[in-house]
Amino acid sequence: MPIDYGTLRLIWWLLLGVLLIGFAIMDGFDLGAAMLHPFVPRNEKERRILLNTIGPVWEGNQIWFVLGGGAAFAAWPPLYATSFSGFYLAMFLVLCGFILRPVALTFRSKVEAANWRQGWDRAFFLSGLVPSLIFGVAFGNLFLGVPFHFDHELRLTYEGGLLGLLNPFALLCGLVSVAMLTMQGASYLALKSEGELSARAGRFGTWAAAALLVLFTLAGLWVAFGIEGYVLQSAPDPAGPSNPLLKSVGRQAGAWLENYHRQSWNLTAPVLAYAGVIAAALALRFKAPLIAFIGSSLSVAGVIATAGLSLFPFLLPSSSQPGHSLTVWDASSSQLTLFIMLGATLVFLPIVLAYTSWVFAVMRGTVTESTIEREADTLY
């Protein structure tokens, strides 16, 4: 095999992070636009402008969610099985939100009645809020650990429930996610609209950026001083078998910061998060929406990378049996599977990127009232 097992595992950990960041950036502005829909537009034309800024691209953006789920399923089977068992009801709510989005977009214009459209507008808002909140809650629970363990035959037992996931720290992380994606949606809406709607989106985006600064800082302080992290006491062999029972894990205060002490370059991630959100806020303040969107996207990447680098090498810690936690080194598919999948990824991921770039190039420009009036029968 031209690439050793440990390197392949590390490459797939990085690829999983790239796919999560791609989803948060691309579908993040769809979720953010949905959360802004009740607040930024002031009349029916402005509401339709907002809907049609994401209308041509939201379906394509969800490919990142599919790719992330597929990568977890194929490259990290124990992670996929454990997380989808433990977060089953939470993921069900996320899927309900994803189902609500196209239904609300399609049906709100079928009847002219105001009550009808208001009902679907509320559903559209929930389609953005619920997934955004739950994604953050899920990340928060990774830092705390999830109550699961395996028997000697690696059969999984999960001991928690949905309400157990809704703890104070996880809810704070959920608010971080909501603020982050609201900023992303506001930056995109400011870029794709004009006049008062664009200005209003910019103001909401500035407020969301300020909220993100505060909430992200609070979450970081909580991680540093308020919770115990997980640490490997006997590290598994990076090229060894995928058996999470062949190691020992302990818990200690400040353990989630150890990667930053060992490798100072990891600090690039939180620095990028802060720099991006400040750049986005300033750009929105001075009506430079393209710079704001780039800054917001970099901030999203920085926030997610901060979480991933803090957790490394853990993928899913176990709060009930820390030694059964899933790590990069003991929760992957076989070496051959990872190698074949890497080859497929090197072929198809550039195609996805090229197609996405082409779509956004074709759809460039703003959505205006004249656009809505000219194509009233074909747009959302």
pLDDT tens profile 304-334: 999 999 999 999 999 999 999 999 999 999 9
**Distance from CA of residue 127 to its chain's centroid?**
15
What percentage of residues in the chain have a pLDDT greater than 70?
Answer: 99
Count of residues making up the chain: 380
> pLDDT tens for residues 27-57?
999 999 999 999 999 999 999 999 999 988 9
In the chain, what's the furthest Cα-to-Cα distance? 66
Which residue from 220, 209, 331 is spatially nearest to 277, judged by alpha carbons?
Answer: 209
Cα–Cα distance measured from residue 193 to residue 368, given in angstroms and rounded to the nearest whole number: 6
The pLDDT value recorded for residue 112 is 83
Cα–Cα distance for residue pair 110/377, rounded to 1 Å: 11
**Could you give the CA distance from residue 197 to residue 47 in angstroms, rounded to a whole number?**
10
What is the Cα–Cα distance from 94 to 123, expressed in whole angstroms?
Answer: 13
Average pLDDT over residues 117-141: 95
Q: Are 292 and 280 in contact (CB under 8 A)?
A: yes
pLDDT of residue 127: 95
Instruction: Using the predicted structure, report yes or no on whether residue 231 has a pLDDT greater than 70.
Output: yes
The reported pLDDT for the residue numbered 159 is 87
Question: Which pLDDT score is estimated for 25?
Answer: 96
* C-alpha to C-alpha distance for 214 and 206, rounded to whole angstroms: 13
Q: What is the pLDDT of residue 88?
A: 87
Token output for 56: 């041509």
The chain-wide mean pLDDT, for the chain, equals: 92
Q: Where are the domains of the chain?
A: 5-374
Measured in Å, how far apart are the chain's first and last C-alpha atoms? 51
Helices assigned H by DSSP within 226-334:
258-262, 268-285, 289-311
Q: Is 231 helix (H, G, I), strand (E, B) or coil?
A: strand
CA distance 238 to 10: 9
Picking from 216, 51, 64, the residue whose alpha carbon sits closest to that of residue 128 is 51
Distance, in Å, from the CA atom of 155 to the CA atom of 173, rounded to the nearest integer, reads 30
Q: What is the pLDDT of residues 330-348, one digit of tens each?
A: 999 999 999 999 999 999 8
Q: State pLDDT tens for residues 144-181.
A: 999 999 998 888 888 888 888 899 999 999 999 999 99
Can you tell me which residue has the tokens 């802004």?
A: 36
Question: Which token pair is 217?
Answer: 């800082």
CA–CA separation, 137 and 185 (whole Å) = 20
Q: What is the pTM of this model?
A: 0.94
Give whole-number Cα distances, 129 to 39, 41, 150, 322, 368, in Å. Answer: 13, 17, 34, 32, 26
pLDDT of 367 above 90? no
pLDDT beyond 90 at 372 = no
| CB 226 within 8 Å of CB 75 | no
Q: DSSP letter at 62?
A: T
Contact 78, 331 (CB under 8 A): yes
Better-predicted residue by pLDDT, 157 or 275: 275
User: Do residues 101 and 58 make contact, with C-beta atoms less than 8 angstroms apart?
Assistant: yes
Q: Report CA-CA distances (Å) from 192 to 101, 130, 195, 251, 278.
A: 20, 24, 11, 47, 21
Residues 46, 29 contacting (CB under 8 angstroms): no
Helix, strand, or coil (residue 178):
helix
Q: What is the tens place of the pLDDT at every residue in 61-101?
A: 988 988 888 888 999 999 998 888 888 899 999 999 999 99
Helix axes 88-107, 114-144, angle to 10 degrees: 160
- What is the CB-side half-sphere exposure of residue 290 using CA atoms within 13 A? 3
The dihedral region occupied by 333, where left means phi > 0, alpha psi between -120 and 50, and beta the remainder, is beta
pLDDT for position 378: 64
pLDDT at 376 over 70: no
Q: Are 169 and 341 in contact (CB under 8 A)?
A: no
Do the beta carbons of residue 321 and residue 82 sit within 8 Å? no
